[in-house]
Amino acid sequence: MKTSRRVVAAVFAVLVLVTGLSAQGNNTTSSALALTPPMGWNSWNKFACNVSEDMIKGMADAMVKSGMKDAGYQYVNIDDCWQVSRDSNGNIVADPQRFPHGMKAVGDYIHSLGLKFGVYSDAGSKTCAGRPGGLGHEYQDALQYAAWGVDYLKYDWCNTTTQDAKASYANIRAALDASGRAIVLSICEWGTAKPWLWGKEVGGNLWRTTGDISDKWEGSTKWPDGTCCSNGMLAIVDQQVGLASYAGPGHWNDPDMLEIGNGGMNDTEYRSHFSLWAILAAPLIAGNDLRNMRPEIHDILTNKEVIAVDQDPMGREGERVAKNGDLEVWAKQMKDGSRAVVLLNRGGSEKEITATWEDLGYPNHLTAAVRDLWQHKELGKVTGKFLATVASHAVVMVTVKP
Ligand code: GLA
């Protein structure tokens, strides 16, 4: 009797163990990450390959001191060029000149400030800047990242020749999960293989929908090698149309990182950039030098009312609900039933723009309170529509609350 009870207990223990292990192997960890769009900073847009331990630590300090951490920014992400080679065991080697104390020390410093640590690699043999990529080293690299305390991996798509995108990203996700550390996976495949169709299934938490953003208002030009494209801010926005249904908590469309503060657009245009990213429930990854921001740039990046639209817990991506030439209305359904609305004037002169309740999915007779998220003030109650005069290249951004 006793023996058979022991056998039952042993069988039960094995079952518990097997169930536990198989649960680890699926995406339960990864889908619980990034329940709202990730917020942070990344080195690429401003510094390209000019990354170092000192600069990254300075940026983490600035994220705290500037109030960005309090506004919700969390990740400090090192993009391309931190890595130089592999050692004889195939381990990835960080640049010893630029990161003299190694990557774990950088991660420890970032964590000591209550922030999170991100790195970059590539699914192919080399990164876009020609540094060693992850191909064939996925599990080894994932263990290394976990040992460094990495919380976020941006995984690029250069030098992938005939690789299948979905399989490659599923592979790195499996490797990250097997490392035992919860790591956000940022798929950087530029939208070529339509990652919105499979990104969630393979455990991606966000996926780039387009080629790289450039610090300019509009336009799209080919790279010198003839590949497509360097995109102005509006060219990126136009490519988000039709993708809203693919986004939700834990899995976001990524229209690329912010250019706010990098000097190629004026402050009006940067306000439009930030408002549109918020309406799109886009990851808010700043790309400027946080150590010396002008007050106007600081105020854009830390506008808590606009950030609250981006971070709404329901996780709906907003959509373009009306377009009349250069005049557009974008709207996002919020958890409390209100709508966040952006009136966008892409044209060269001031214009009046109207958002009708029909555009917003409300019945005409409804009366709603309108609040301006840039002026931080109530604009009163209106019925049936809201209209405003919008300057050239500007937005008016409001919430409409029945
Ligand atoms: C690609 C990515 C960029 C950046 C660079 C780094 O172009 O799309 O965001 O990571 O590579 O080389």
Strands (E), 281-338: 284-286, 319-324, 327-333
Q: Compute CA distances 326 → 185, 349, 395, whole Å.
A: 36, 10, 12
Which pLDDT does position 222 carry in this prediction? Answer: 86
From the CA of 212, give the closest atom in ligand 1: 8
> Do the Cβ atoms of 217 and 392 come closer than 8 Å?
no
CA–CA gap between residue 101 and residue 115 (Å, rounded): 19
Q: Indicate whether residue 44 lines ligand 1 (CB < 6 A).
A: yes
For residue 188 and ligand 1, the question of a CB distance below 6 A is answered with yes
Cα separation, 44 vs 64, whole angstroms: 20
CB 137 within 8 A of CB 173: no
CA of 50 to the centre of ligand 1 (A): 14
Ligand 1 binding pocket includes 93 (Cβ within 6 Å):
no
* Tokens matching residue 84: 């130089």
The single residue of 108, 212, 238, 326 carrying the catalytic annotation is: 212
Pairing of strands 395-401, 339-345: antiparallel
* Alpha-carbon gap, residue 73 to 63, rounded angstroms: 8
The Cα-based distances of 44 to 78, 141, 213, 229, 275 in angstroms read 8, 21, 11, 17, 22
As to burial, measured by CB atoms within 10 angstroms (0-12 exposed, 13-18 middle, 19+ buried), residue 129 is middle
| Residue 224, pLDDT score | 84
The partner residues of 120 in beta bridges, in order of sequence, read 154
Catalytic residue among 79, 80, 141, 156: 156
- Best residue among 119, 155, 156 to mutate for probing ligand 1's pocket (most ligand atoms within 8 Å of CB) is 156
Judge whether 181 and 233 are in contact, CB under 8 Å.
Answer: no
Q: Is the CB of 212 under 6 A from ligand 1?
A: yes
CA–centroid distance, residue 144 to ligand 1 (Å): 22
Alpha carbon distance 188, 155 (integer Å):
6
Is 156 among the residues known to form the active site? yes
Distance CA 296, CA 267 (A): 7
Phi, psi dihedral angles at 227 (to 5 degrees): -80, 160
Query: Is any atom of ligand 1 closer than 6 Å to the C-beta of 128?
Result: yes
Alpha-carbon distance 292 to 48, whole Å? 18
Instruction: Specify the ligand 1 atom closest to the Cα of 129.
Output: 12
CB of 79 sitting under 6 A from ligand 1: yes
80 lines ligand 1 (CB under 6 A): yes
According to the model, what pLDDT value does residue 6 have?
53
> With b meaning 16 or more CB within 10 Å and e meaning fewer, what string describes 361-389?
ebeeeeebebbebbeeeeeeeeeeebebe
Q: Distance from the CA of 239 to the center of ligand 1, in angstroms?
A: 18
Residue 119 to residue 133: CA distance in whole angstroms: 12
Query: What is the residue whose two structure tokens read 């938490």?
Result: 205
- Kindly state if the Cβ of 236 falls inside 6 Å of ligand 1: no
Structure tokens at 138: 């996925």
Pocket test for ligand 1, best of 189, 212, 214 (most atoms within 8 A of CB): 212
Ligand 1 mean position, distance from CA 212 (Å)? 7
* Integer Cα distance of 188 and 195 in angstroms: 9
From the list 303, 294, 317, the residue with the least C-alpha distance to 237 is 317
Q: Is the dihedral of CA 121, 122, 126, 132 positive or negative?
A: positive
**Residue closest by Cα to atom 11 of ligand 1:** 128
User: Residue 267 catalytic?
Assistant: no
pLDDT of 117 reads: 99
Helix (H, G, I), strand (E, B) or coil at 117: strand
What DSSP letter does each residue of 265-277 carry, written as one string? S-HHHHHHHHHHH
Measured distance CA(180)–CA(24) in Å, rounded: 8
Q: How far apart are CA 86 and CA 89, in angstroms?
A: 8
Q: How far is the CA of 8 from the centre of ligand 1 (A)?
A: 55
User: pTM (2 decimals)?
Assistant: 0.93
pLDDT tens for each residue of the chain, 402 residues long: 344 555 444 444 444 444 334 334 444 567 799 999 999 999 999 999 999 999 999 999 999 999 999 999 999 999 999 999 999 999 999 999 999 999 999 999 999 999 999 999 999 999 999 999 999 999 999 999 999 999 999 999 999 999 999 999 999 999 999 999 999 999 999 999 999 999 999 999 999 999 999 999 999 988 888 877 889 999 999 999 999 999 999 999 999 999 999 999 999 999 999 999 999 999 999 999 999 999 999 999 999 999 999 999 999 999 999 999 999 999 999 999 999 999 999 999 999 999 999 999 999 999 999 999 999 999 999 999 999 999 999 999 999 999
**Distance, CA 361 to ligand 1 centroid (Å)?**
38
Tokens of 118: 């991100």
